[in-house]
Structures are given as structure tokens and as C-alpha cells.
Structure 1
Amino acid sequence: MEVYVISLKNLEQEELQNLLFHQLSMDEQVYLEKWKSPKKRLTILGGRLLLRHVARLHGLTSYHLEYGENGKPFFSNSSDHFFNISHSGEYLSLAWSSKDIGIDLEQIRKEMPKFPERMLSATDFSYFQKQREDQKKACFFTLWTRKESFIKLYGNNIFQKAREISVTDGTNLLSVVNDPFAYFHTCQWKDYIISVCTLEKWAHLSVQYVTLQEIIP
């Protein structure tokens, strides 16, 4: 398992975006043009460029993407490589694995949601309440990113399923859940929390920052 991060600020110039757009495959260009929001288009462009870079690092120079029922992309021509993408603030992250995977990246914002009990299971909210006040913000985003990475692993909708999932036992964070089966890995990177949910038992979460010069051929 590997996690790569890029800054989308480096791609904000319109002239650069136009140049990079024409380096995408025809299928990728068609998919990108479906989105009207400049912010969404920037995120998709950054994701496609980072995916191409990481795929090449692993010997996958040609691939075709398809999308699952809930929009999760996957390689239709490879059963040995899996990825997932997340975006928050100025950064975009990509998790890569030999097994299916989900990732969530969240900036630790100044304010938490006003009603965290509406977003967490009763078990996880009990765990959250036990934390010191100065730890609650990081705790909330740790719980939330673990939930979202789990749901992204299995391709479900986060807002429909969040309160049904517990990533703690009320006292401790869980490193593994069994129904369905998955392993959790979480770290703080800058002022962001990154959580990965994977089927790899012995995975280690380390973050590799990728520069613009590396992803542009």
C-alpha cells in the first residue's frame, strides 16, 4: 500500500490546465468535460495526472477506467492494481494497492460540525466524548476519515451509511473490522488527517509528496 499527495495549487493556472487537458486520453477528456464547476474540473484533472504518474511507476502504462454502481473508478484491464482518490483543501491524495482500497483526506478545520452525534455511531460518539477537549477536533476527523475510507473501499454512500458504522469499540480505535472485513491505517500529515481502509493486513501508511515536475511528462 502506498499513498501519494499533490498540491492542486500548482495546477490553478488556466493556460497550464489547457495544456494538460490535451495530454489526457480521449475518454478522460470526455469525462472531464461533463463537469462545469472549475473546482471540480481541477480536482479531476489533478487526480487523472497523479493516477497516470503512479500507474507508470508500477509498470501500468496503458489502462482503461470503468465506474462501479456508486461511481468508484477501477481498472477494467487489470485485476492486480487498485486505487482510490480523495481531496480536501489544496491537496489531493491517491492510495495504491494490490488489493481493493479506500482513502479519505480531510483538513483539520478550525470548527467541527455542530452536531457530531448526528454523524457518528453511538459507539464512536461515546469514544469521542471521552477525549480531552484539546483532542476532540483531531479525534472527530480521525473517526470521520476512517468511516469514509471504509465506505469508499466498498463503494457505498458515506452519508447514508456513516451512522451505521463504528470504527471504535467505545474505548479504543479499531485496527480491523470483520463485517465486512477491512484494516484501518491513519496518520496526520501537515494539518490533514489521512485514513486508508484496505484488505492488506501488513500494510504501512507512509505519505509521498509528488511535485508538479514529476507528474508532467
Structure 2
Amino acid sequence: MNFIDIRHSCFQADQDLLQKLTGLLSKQELTTANKFRQPALRDRYIQVRGQLRTSLAEYLGVQPAALEFGIGTYGKPYLKQHPLYFNLSHSADRLVIAISNLENIGIDIEYTQPRTNLRALAQRCFSAGEFHLWQQLPLSQQHKLFYQLWTKKEAFVKAVGRGIVLGLSNCELNLPAAQTFASLPAEYSPPNAWQLIEFWPTDTICGALVAPNTQLMLTELT
């Protein structure tokens, strides 16, 4: 059966762990890490890459440092030489990694912080229909729905490997439930070919997973 595992973790200010994870990185990853001027950002990058290597290695029974990665046509990273796929996202102090035998998976989490420019962001990222319905909601509901829509749109464009260049407003959801797509760019239609899964790692972090609409076993691991 097809499977997707969502692995949850928190960033840690642990120098021993950081040193261990640093030892797993490739030369290219170390070069990237050293380009960060802010130590906190450098340490976070090391933890993301190190945790990704550690997680994938557990499935494959290989050493984390032995894994090799490539970059797809539109910039989506993939694992070389192994039929195992992944996608990841991090926000605030949380990291989530989705691992699957399915190639086209995408995951996104966002800290639901208050934004002064929420309306402008919604107008840019929502379809005309979504924006019209969103504006009619009370402010408290607007805030929650914004992140529910945002994460699902982000997860979709990550699943197909195109990123936001595809246009978040071109990925429209059925409202008010926002549990299925109403329309998508033609090359990824029909909308019911995809399934959306909403999850909340914490009360203030909204998450979404997008995958092909097939039977699968979903497991969340902490």
C-alpha cells in the first residue's frame, strides 16, 4: 500500500546534536551553511539537512552521510538512486518532513502570526471567488481561513514541483470547507486527482499535506 509518514520535530539549541548533524552533511551543504551570516540561521539549516538525512537513512538502511540529492527541473529536491520521496517545511520552532513512496507529495506549515498586510496577501494569493467569500467573514475567521488556504496552496505547488511561480491564485479550493480543490492549472487537472490533509502541529501552527488521490496509509511520527 502507498504510504506517507509525517515526521515532526522541534529545533533544539543543543551543540552536541548540532555537531553530530554537521558531520552528516555533504561538502556542498557545508558550503551553503557557512554562507549564512547569522549563526541561528546557519544552525537551523544544519538541523534541517541533518534531520532529513537521518530520517531518510532510517528507511533505507544506509548511512545518512551516504545519501545523494539532486534538483528537479523547477528546483524541487529529490533523492538519487532510491525510490523514496520527501518534502519538508519549517516554521517557528517546528520542522515537518513527509516521506513516501509517492513522488508528487507536498507539505507546508505556517505559524499563524497576526499580519498587518493580510488583506493584500489574500488578494494576491486567492482566486477572485476565494477572496470574495473570505472578505465576508468576521476578522477572527479570516485569520484562520487565510492560513488554511495558504498552506494547502503552498503544499500543492510543492507537490508538483513548481513552487509559487505556478501562481497560488490558480489553485482554487472549494469553500467554506476548503478540503478539496475546485480548479487547478490544466496540466494538473482534474482537481479530484489530488487529496488534501489538514493538520495542526500546535494550536498556532497550521499544516497541510497534498498527495495524489489514492488509497494510502498516513502516519504522523513525533
TM-score, normalisation: structure 2: 0.78
Which stretch has the larger CA shift, 21-30 or 64-73? 21-30
Paired with 2:102 and 2:27, the residues of 1 have a C-alpha distance of 28
Paired with 1:22 and 1:3, the residues of 2 have a C-alpha distance of 25
CA offsets per residue over residues 49-85 of structure 1, 9 Å max, x none? 221232133124242101123332101211x211011
Q: Check 1:66–1:37 CA distance in 2 against 1; reply closer, same or farther (3 A cut).
A: farther
User: Which range is displaced more, 137-146 or 125-134?
Assistant: 125-134
1:207 pairs with 2:197: no
**Cα distance per residue 1:58-116 (max 9 Å; x no partner):** 124242101123332101211x2110111111111111111121111101113362422
1:187 to 2:199 alignment: yes
Tell me what 1:59 maps to. 60
Q: Distance in 1 between matches of 2:175 and 2:23?
A: 50
**Shift in Å, 1:196:** 0.9
Q: In structure 2, what is the equivalent of residue 17 of structure 1? A: 18
Q: 1:103 aligns with which of 107, 120, 134?
A: 107
**2:12 is equivalent to residue 6 of structure 1:** no
1:125 aligns with 131
Could you tell me how far 1:132 is from its partner in structure 2? Answer: 4.4
Counterpart in 1 of 2:42? Answer: 41
Separation of aligned partners in 2, 1:173 and 1:51 = 30
Counterpart residue type for residue 186 of structure 1: E
> Does residue 88 of structure 1 match 2:91?
yes
- Residues 156-167 of structure 1 mapped to structure 2, 5 A cutoff: 156-158=162-164, 161-166=167-172
Matched residue pairs, number? 205
Find the aligned partners of 2:89 and 2:78 in 1 and give their Cα distance: 14
Amino acid at match of 2:25: L
Q: Alpha-carbon deviations, 1:135-190, whole Å to 9, x = none?
A: 22121101000000111112223266112221x23444243566414321111221
Tell me the CA shift for residue 129 of structure 1: 3.4
Report which stretch shifted further, 80-89 or 157-166.
157-166
1:6–1:92 CA contact under 8 A, matched in 2: yes
Q: TM-score, normalised by structure 1?
A: 0.80
Return 5+ residue gaps in structure 1 as ranges: 210-217
* Letter of the 1:86 counterpart: S
Relative to structure 1, is the Cα distance of residues 157 and 124 closer, same or farther in structure 2, using a 3 angstrom cutoff? same
SS at match of 2:96: strand
Q: Aligned equivalents of 1:163 and 1:135: distance in 2?
A: 20
For 2:135, the aligned partner's letter is Q
What percent of counterpart residues are identical?
A: 22
In structure 2, relative to structure 1, the CA distance for the partners of 1:27 and 1:68 (3 Å cut) is: same
Measured in 2, the distance between the counterparts of 1:71 and 1:170 equals 31
